[in-house]
């Protein structure tokens, strides 16, 4: 997408649609910026009370003799209530209207900066941009005969100087990371294999300077004694891959964030097989890995002065005569033995080896893992909110602040130590399942066994938020790309 700025409305270029923002007031809507020659066009519907300026309200008008055939009035609500999330939702409606009208080139009139309350100019442009960019996406299915969506290809901000466009161009780079993650999650599992993820990481290393990819095949994974990853992969016709993708934006700094993403490219449940209705979307079980790859791509594109490594233990959890079985015992990379209580609790096994490897070999300052880990977190928090677990308050609070800033919602849940009793084993050090009660907590506690207490660690359970059963405000149906914007915001503020 091309992004440009025009300081004055009368110097704008032709477009398919122009958008004017309005504030809501009891006595009638108030234009948030000059309407220019559109004053008369907007006057009649406003006087007829067909438009009030309430948040999320839009009204499409047609004009003659202007540089645009269409004019869209957009309600932003009350000035004092404007925030980033309401901006995103409002401008997402603009994007959807543009898709409906096949408007690929649009002019956005920016609200008067002098009237902003509580938002900076940078935040204003970020919120407007994200609202347009995040829904401006279409997954192009192979062989699909569906009508292709007309995406917005040019966005011009009216009323700002070109030098002020930094937040908008940054938002575009982050959105591209979100698209990247969505594409991986939406892709069919016969194509998005562990080897495909490995190839994708290598392509990112070629594309961006300061990025390096390392891929372990099955033989090297065996040498690294990643017994849990190997166990999960036993039933698959495709080999596992262990991927690290490192970005050094601050080579003189020892600060290093490790992002671990669950990379189960398809999850049948193994011998504890999932029933019909629960398996069909399990291509999304690698959403954690897609998020960390999308995040690293965005960070590299932005050129952030941080050091970040994405770590992925990639495999399928499939079924054949060699599949790992309930009751089996395997030795992890850490050396801890684990009894398999349920083969459909495979994600924590692959993550355990990835976390342990990160601790031993990557010298992390902090570790954050993301995983579509438990159905329990969906029962507890629904499909809009992820579960956050952390062994340090400072890290948890920083992530929660990034969550608030980006609108990618999280709720902190407890690492309640007494529940460790629930996954004790009679025949091994640990068991990979703790029963139905407090399932998301016991899963997090299991992962905690594979990080050391001196390293700040957070686990984000994205089982409900990674894949959408229906379209939301600025998130399309299917893959959401959840976590990319949150992690980029977090990394910016380290």
Q: How do residues 415-451 score in pLDDT, each as one tens digit?
A: 999 999 999 999 999 999 998 999 999 999 999 999 9
- Are 334 and 352 a contacting pair, CB within 8 Å? yes
Known catalytic membership, residue 191: no
Q: What is the CA radius of gyration of the chain?
A: 24
Q: Distance (Å, rounded) from C-alpha 373 to C-alpha 349?
A: 11
Q: Is the pLDDT of residue 17 over 70?
A: yes
- Are 175 and 183 a contacting pair, CB within 8 Å? no
Q: Distance (Å, rounded) from C-alpha 441 to C-alpha 149?
A: 41
Q: What is the mean pLDDT of residues 400-407?
A: 99
| Active-site residue, from 234, 262, 348, 366 | 348
| Active-site residue, from 67, 225, 274, 325 | 274
Q: Phi and psi for 349 in degrees, rounded to 5?
A: -70, -50
**Is 53 buried (19+), middle (13-18) or exposed (0-12) by CB count in 10 A?**
buried
Task: Check residue 19 and give left, alpha or beta (phi > 0: left; psi -120 to 50: alpha).
Answer: beta
Average pLDDT, the chain: 97
Q: What CATH fold (topology level) applies to the domain 2-161?
A: 3.40.220
Instruction: Provide the 3-class DSSP secondary structure of residue 35.
Output: coil
* pLDDT at site 306: 99
The neighbouring-strand residues paired with 478 are 468
- Are 1 and 155 a contacting pair, CB within 8 Å? yes
* pLDDT at site 118: 82
Known catalytic membership, residue 274: yes
As annotated, the residues of the chain forming the CATH 3.40.220.10 domain(s) are 2-161
Q: Distance (Å, rounded) from C-alpha 286 to C-alpha 288?
A: 5
pLDDT band at 485 (very low <50, low <70, confident <90, very high): very high
pLDDT band at 142 (very low <50, low <70, confident <90, very high): low
Q: Distance (Å, rounded) from C-alpha 461 to C-alpha 380?
A: 11
173-492 CATH: 3.40.630.10
Eight-class DSSP state of 225: T
Sign for the CA dihedral angle at 348, 350, 355, 360 comes to positive
Count of C-beta atoms within a 10 Å radius of residue 326: 15
Which of 56-70, 96-110, 334-348, 474-488 comes out lowest in average pLDDT? 56-70
Instruction: Provide the 3-class DSSP secondary structure of residue 49.
Output: coil
Q: Distance (Å, rounded) from C-alpha 79 to C-alpha 116?
A: 7
The neighbouring-strand residues paired with 108 are 19, 157
- Are 131 and 111 a contacting pair, CB within 8 Å? no
Sign for the CA dihedral angle at 317, 321, 324, 330 comes to negative
- Each residue's pLDDT tens digit, 199-243: 999 999 999 999 999 999 999 999 999 999 999 999 999 999 999
As annotated, the residues of the chain forming the CATH 3.40.630.10 domain(s) are 173-492
């Amino acid at each position: 997408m091309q992004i440009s700025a025009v300081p004055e409305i009368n110097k704008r270029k032709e477009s398919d649609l122009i958008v004017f923002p309005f504030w809501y007031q009891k006595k009638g809507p108030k234009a948030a910026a000059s309407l220019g020659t559109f004053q008369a066009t907007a006057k009649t519907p406003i006087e007829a009370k067909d438009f009030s300026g309430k948040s999320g309200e839009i009204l499409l008008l047609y004009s003659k003799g202007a540089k645009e055939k269409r004019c869209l009035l957009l309600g932003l609500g009350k000035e004092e209530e404007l925030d980033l999330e309401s901006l995103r939702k409002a401008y997402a409606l603009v994007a959807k209207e543009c898709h409906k009208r096949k408007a690929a080139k649009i002019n956005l009139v920016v609200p008067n900066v002098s009237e902003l309350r509580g938002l900076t100019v940078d935040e204003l442009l970020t919120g407007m941009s994200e609202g347009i960019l995040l829904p401006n996406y279409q997954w192009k299915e192979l062989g699909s005969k569906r009508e292709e969506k007309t995406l917005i290809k040019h966005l011009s901000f009216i009323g700002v100087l070109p030098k002020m466009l930094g937040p908008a161009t940054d938002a575009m780079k982050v959105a591209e990371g979100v698209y990247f993650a969505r594409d991986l999650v939406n892709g069919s599992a016969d194509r998005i294999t562990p080897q495909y993820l490995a190839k994708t990481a290598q392509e990112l290393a070629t594309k961006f300077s300061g990025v390096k990819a390392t891929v372990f095949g099955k033989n090297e994974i065996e040498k690294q004694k990643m017994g849990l990853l190997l166990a999960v992969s036993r039933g698959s016709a495709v080999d596992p891959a262990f991927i690290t993708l490192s970005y050094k934006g601050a080579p003189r700094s020892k600060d290093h964030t490790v992002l671990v993403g669950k990379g189960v490219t398809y999850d049948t449940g193994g011998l504890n097989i999932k029933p019909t209705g629960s398996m069909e979307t399990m291509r999304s079980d690698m959403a954690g890995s897609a998020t960390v790859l999308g995040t690293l791509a965005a960070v590299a594109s932005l050129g952030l002065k941080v050091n970040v490594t994405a770590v992925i233990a990639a495999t399928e959890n499939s079924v054949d005569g060699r599949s790992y079985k309930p009751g089996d015992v395997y030795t992890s990379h850490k050396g801890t033995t684990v009894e398999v209580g349920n083969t459909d609790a495979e994600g924590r096994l692959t993550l355990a080896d990835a976390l342990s490897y990160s601790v031993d070999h990557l010298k992390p300052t902090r570790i954050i893992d993301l995983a579509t880990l438990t159905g329990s977190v969906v029962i507890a928090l629904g499909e809009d909110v992820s579960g956050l677990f952390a062994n340090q308050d400072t890290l948890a609070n920083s992530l929660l602040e990034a969550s608030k800033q980006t609108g990618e919602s999280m709720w902190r849940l407890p690492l309640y130590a007494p529940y460790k009793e629930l996954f004790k084993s009679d025949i091994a050090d640990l068991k990979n399942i703790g029963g139905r009660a407090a399932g998301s907590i016991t899963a997090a506690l299991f992962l905690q066994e594979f990080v050391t207490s001196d390293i700040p660690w957070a686990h984000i359970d994205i089982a409900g938020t990674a894949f959408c059963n229906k379209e939301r405000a600025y998130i399309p149906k299917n893959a959401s790309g959840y976590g990319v914007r949150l992690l980029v915001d977090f990394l910016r503020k380290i």
